[in-house]
Structures are given as structure tokens and as C-alpha cells.
Amino acid sequence: VQLQASGGGLVQAGDSLRLSCAASGRSFSSSVMGWFRQAPGKDREFVSAIRWTHGSKYYAEAVKGRFTISGDNAKNAVHLQMTSLKPEDTAVYYCATRHSADYVGSDVSSSAHYDSWGHGTQVTVSS
């Protein structure tokens, strides 16, 4: 199974970008897909996630109201619409998926909840 993130680029503050993540490979299954990001010199942090079972969506406080996650489980694809971008959004953005079943009380904001990761796409926001 491979995850391929795309859509990153160099934009100005206030602009928008749409990231996409597509999964390929046989017997792909996913209970949760998420987006994380890592800025230079910082730890990887949670951005957003979607649980396929109920379609529940989750956002980090820093992006709530500006970013929107969407996707199609049947197509093994997830997107992240980013608006009102800020310089502090600059980072490499990674998509991730959990292949095994999700469970009540699980923490979708924890990177440990995911078992496959894409290579990331660079987002740079200039001021």
C-alpha cells in the first residue's frame, strides 16, 4: 500500500491550497485517514482526520475554521482544502491511514494511531 500526497506549493498569506492523498495497492482498507504536518525544527503535529465509519471530522485548533477535510473511502482518497493560509502553516504535510479497525475512544490526533504514511508534500506560505 502506498499513500501519495500532492497539491503543495508556494503561496502567499491569505491564499488557498488543496492537498490530495491517494492510496494505491491491493486489499487497501482504511478506518481513519488523517493529515499531519511538520515544520522545520518542530515535531510532527496533527492537522485533521476523518473517520470513515461515521464520517466524523476532526481538526487541530490552529486550523479549525480554515481547513476542511473531505474524502471518498471507496476511492481511497482524502483531501484537505486549506484557506486563509498563514506563514505558520508552512510545513511538510503528510497523509496517513489506519488499516485496522478503529475503536471507541481512539485518539485520531495521535500519530501512533496510524500505520501507513505518505511521503509528504511541501506547503510554503510567504508573508
**C-alpha span between 72 and 55 (Å, rounded):** 10
The predicted structure's pLDDT at residue 27: 62
Q: What is the mean pLDDT of the chain?
A: 93
| Buried b or exposed e, range 94-106, using 16+ CB within 10 angstroms | bbbbbeeebeeee
| pLDDT 10s digits, 70-113 | 998 888 899 999 999 999 999 999 999 998 888 878 899 999 99
Maximum alpha-carbon separation in the chain: 43
**Cell triple for 100:** 485496522
The predicted structure's pLDDT at residue 105: 81
Give the range among 19-23, 28-32, 120-124 with minimum mean pLDDT: 28-32
